[in-house]
Each structure stands twice: as structure tokens, then as C-alpha cells.
Structure 1
């Protein structure tokens, strides 16, 4: 199974490397950019939650202690 997956991926990689540049560009815009935006959103949410959880303690007036 792993060999079959590796062979398939090698074929995809070879096809992409040999593809015409505009095709590569469109694939990046359609696939990679949305994945990067999704990853950035998820990292932002995770860091926001962790900074809220590990952030400094606040007094009632909003100043750090």
C-alpha cells in the first residue's frame, strides 16, 4: 500500500514539475493559498487562546498586577 501511494505521489510530482507554468500558478492559487489562509487562521486562534490562558493576571481596573 505504501509503495502504491509513493508511486502515485511520484507521478503527481513529475506531472506538476513538467506542467506548463500557468498551470502550476493556477494550482498554487487554487490549492496552496487557501490552505495557507486556513493554517494562518487556525494558528491565530490557537495563539489567541493560549495567550489568553497564559496571559498575565489582571486586576479589576484592567491593569496588570
Structure 2
């Protein structure tokens, strides 16, 4: 764990030493990739949840 934390600290110090524009150029692709994959995951999970709710409502209407 100490190795990872030392690596993280080194990268953080390197990044904080860059000019703001360079920081943005390094950070934004990572942030955008994380946001994209989070959106894809949430879309899939919520889509399945909505499908299950619709299926349950349809089953309740057919039974009653």
C-alpha cells in the first residue's frame, strides 16, 4: 500500500507543478472517460430496472 501511496503522491506533485492549461489537458481525458463509463453503466442498470418494473406491472395487470 505504501508503494501505491508514494506513486500517487509523486503523480500528484508532478501534476500540481504543471501550469493550469497543462493540468486540464492531462486531467480532462481521464475525467471524461470516467464520466462516459459511469453513464454507460448507469444507463444499463436503469434500463434493466425499468424493464423489470414494466414486466412486473404487465404481469400484475394480466393476473388481475
Q: Which runs of 4+ in 1 moved over 2 A?
A: none
Under a length normalisation based on structure 1, what TM-score does the superposition of the two structures give? 0.73
Alignment of 1:29-48 (within 5 A): 29-48=28-47
Q: How much does 1:17 deviate?
A: 1.6
Query: What residue in structure 1 maps to residue 58 of structure 2?
Result: 58
More off after superposition, 4-13 vs 22-31: 22-31
Q: How much does 1:54 deviate?
A: 2.9
More off after superposition, 24-33 vs 4-13: 24-33
Q: How much does 1:28 deviate?
A: 2.5
